Chains A and B, each alone.
Chain A
Amino acid sequence: MLSDTLIFILIAIGVIFNALGIVGILRFPDVYTRLHAETKMTTFGTIFLCLAVFLYCLLNYLSSGDGQYIDLGISTAVVLVALAFTNATGSHAIARAAYKSGQKPENAVVDRLEAKK
């Protein structure tokens, strides 16, 4: 019963953080702040959803002894590692592309990248 509550809390954290990421996309003023909100929030939320899946698989394996749950948990771990690495790299690439295509941050005063050239 305690473990069900823990799974529910992990799911709630994941869904709330995913929702905050989408709200950040809709509300923030320019590309860089939107990227900041989206990447951090959706990665964090998906990590917590995967933790809930781990806990569910572990409990079901301990109670039923079915090897299918171990497969499910390990595959989810692979997804989690792939997502954690590719989201960070992808957001860096998008920010670099946005700067190179000529977008400046909103209300920017100092541009050190421009001064370095």
Chain B
Amino acid sequence: MITIWMLVAVILCALILLALVRLFTGPSAPDRVVAFDSINTLTVAIMIMLAIAFEEVFFVDVAIVYALLSFVGTLFVAKYLGGEL
């Protein structure tokens, strides 16, 4: 069963590499923010998968903090792009 979780983590890493294509070639700034937001969500999913694979609870605690901090970062960049700062 452990190999399945590691396999899912590897597949999600490959998806992050695909999202990086949009992050680098995005024609405008909001496109890059969209790609960055998806990378954050996939990173949280990878952390949960690794927590199961290694049987450690601390990985999930890191994932909670990462999810909330990436939300704050996304809001901040969105406010900056909208010209409200």
Number of interchain pairs (Cβ within 8 Å): 138
Interface assignment of A83: CB less than 8 Å from any CB of chain B? yes
Does A31 sit at the interface, judged by CB under 8 A?
Answer: yes
Q: Considering only CB atoms and an 8 Å cut-off, how many residues of chain B contact the other chain? A: 47
**Size category of the binding interface on chain A:** 35 or more
CB pair B12–A15 under 8 Å, yes or no, is: yes
Partner of A31, one of B30, B52, B77: B30
Q: Using an 8 Å CB-CB cutoff, how does the interface string of A54-84 with B read, 1 for contact, 0 for none?
A: 0010000000000010011001101100110
- B82 & A100 in contact (Cβ 8 Å cutoff): yes
CB nearest to A24 among chain B residues: B38
Question: Using a CB–CB distance below 8 Å, which chain B residues touch chain A?
Answer: 1, 4, 8, 11-12, 15, 18-19, 21-22, 28-31, 33-35, 37-38, 41-42, 44-45, 48-49, 51-52, 55, 57, 60-61, 63-64, 67-68, 70-71, 74-75, 77-84
A residues at B contact (CB < 8 Å)? 4, 7-8, 11, 14-15, 18-19, 21-22, 25-26, 31, 34-35, 38-39, 42-43, 45-46, 49-50, 53, 56, 68, 71-72, 75-76, 78-79, 82-83, 86-87, 89-91, 93-94, 96-98, 100-101, 103
